[in-house]
Structure 1
Amino acid sequence: MRRIEKAREPASLADLRGTPGAAWSSVHGTQRQQMREHAFKEQHGLCAYCMSPLPGPPSAEGMKIEHFETRALSPELVFDWDNLLGVCLGDVGIREGGGEHRKRYHCDTYRGHLPREEQRIELNPAAFPPDVGSMFSYTNQGEMRPAEGLEPAMRASVEAQIERLNLNIARLRRNRRDVIGALRSQFQKKAPRAARVKELLTLASTPDGAGLLPPYCQAAAYYLEKKLRQLG
């Protein structure tokens, strides 16, 4: 998970706030598409939660608009752009079939199946402070954990976020492991110099010419920042 710099809100949101009786269910396709395009651009093509790549160009078949503070718990934030994030489908297309199938859900799709009182999460990637990117760590096997040195209350919030978004399912762990593994492989072939690690860190943290970030870039950045500290 990484910090998201929110840009100017889509014009449709201001229109919706000014429409008496407007509800999320009444938002039409063109308005939702405008939100998807804005979120895709400001998130550089990644899911706000798991950092999986969102298919481009953005569409209803490839991404959703998620309310960080849920509509049920915070109806006053339904049309607040800082509360809206672009997220992946979270395996929503798999066959419904009870608990075993739901274990494959992640991000807001998984959270939406939890009891309402368990759906709240506290670390909005679009809010600062804290910088959400500094709240999580990643093992070489791709497991997402709380960062070291967090105070107990913050650590509990991070653990709850990982659990309630189901961010350690096998597929996500494997994808993050592969990203970190590719970097480790480079360093096993040739001992890294600080200049090379900094170059790779820049590549992992900087959008490319199309404005896109590498998938799971925060896992790569965490590993590279750790490597830099080891190199002194």
Structure 2
Amino acid sequence: MRQIVKGAEPASLTAHRQMPHSDYDNYASKDDLRHTLVTERRGLCCYCMGRLHNGPTTMKIEHWRCQSRYPDEHLNYRNLLGACLGGNGQPPHLQHCDARKGDSDLQWNPADAAHHIETRVRYELDGSIRADDAVFDDQLHQVLNLNLPLLKNNRKGLLDAVLDWWRREKARIGGPVPRERLVRERDKYIAGNGQIAPYCSVAVWWLGQKLAKMT
């Protein structure tokens, strides 16, 4: 998972919330909301970090606190995230992210800076995403199904690419990879203001682990 930096909400959402009898269902400008959510997420799903495509049939507007049990959060922009379709319509064991989550609660919100989501997870060599906190670890598995084989393989592919780069650099240099080279490689995954690579947090996390051992 990757920290989501929430910016300003769409003007249409602000105006709609101020109208009498407003709710999420009668908010007509969801295209504005989708565009903003995809942009602030830099083109990645809020949970699995797969590529997020803007459009009513290619993504979901996720309520971190579900609509059924948190009616006061329907139009709270801080509660709204951009999620992939997550195998919507597939059997439950093949669903992930919002499609699998449904009305379940999550312990930590990737869009809440106080939750420090990037410090809550780690990645294993087989592509698994894990958490030291037992409750959140179970939610990653059971609520979001983020260790679905497809997602594990996608993360492993990126991690393998980073490991291959690191080994080549070590061989080229004939010794440890310098700190500044690790920093430069880490930052390339998150540089700029546009879309970033799917599953990039796996690379950022692994390179961060290497950097932490050098301090």
1:102 alignment partner, one of 77, 85, 92:
92
**C-alpha separation in 1, matches of 2:59 and 2:111:** 17
Cα deviation digits, residues 79-108 of structure 1 (max 9, x gap): 0000000010001154xxxxxx22110001
Contact conserved, 2:5 with 2:113, CA < 8 A, in 1?
A: no
Partner in structure 1 of residue 61 of structure 2: 65
Partner in structure 1 of residue 184 of structure 2: 199
**C-alpha separation in 1, matches of 2:200 and 2:23:** 35
Partner in structure 2 of residue 81 of structure 1: 77
**Helix, strand or coil for the counterpart of 2:157?**
helix
1:134-149 → structure 2 map (5 Å cutoff)? 134-147=119-132
Q: Give the letter for the 2:166 counterpart.
A: F
Partner in structure 1 of residue 211 of structure 2: 228
1:102-121 → structure 2 map (5 Å cutoff)? 102-112=92-102, 116=103, 119-121=104-106
How far apart are residue 214 of structure 1 and its match? 1.3
Contact conserved, 2:123 with 2:202, CA < 8 A, in 1?
A: yes
Q: Give the letter for the 1:187 counterpart.
A: W
Cα deviation digits, residues 146-200 of structure 1 (max 9, x gap): 15xxxxxxx1342133021111100110000001100111122231332221111
What is the TM-score with the length of structure 2 in the denominator? 0.91
* Alignment gaps of 5+ in structure 2: 171-176
**Helix, strand or coil for the counterpart of 2:189?**
helix
Contact conserved, 2:45 with 2:84, CA < 8 A, in 1?
A: yes
RMSD: 1.5
What is the TM-score with the length of structure 1 in the denominator? 0.84
Contact conserved, 2:17 with 2:23, CA < 8 A, in 1?
A: no
Partner in structure 2 of residue 127 of structure 1: 112
Q: Give the letter for the 1:71 counterpart.
A: Q
Cα deviation digits, residues 129-159 of structure 1 (max 9, x gap): 1211111000111100015xxxxxxx13421
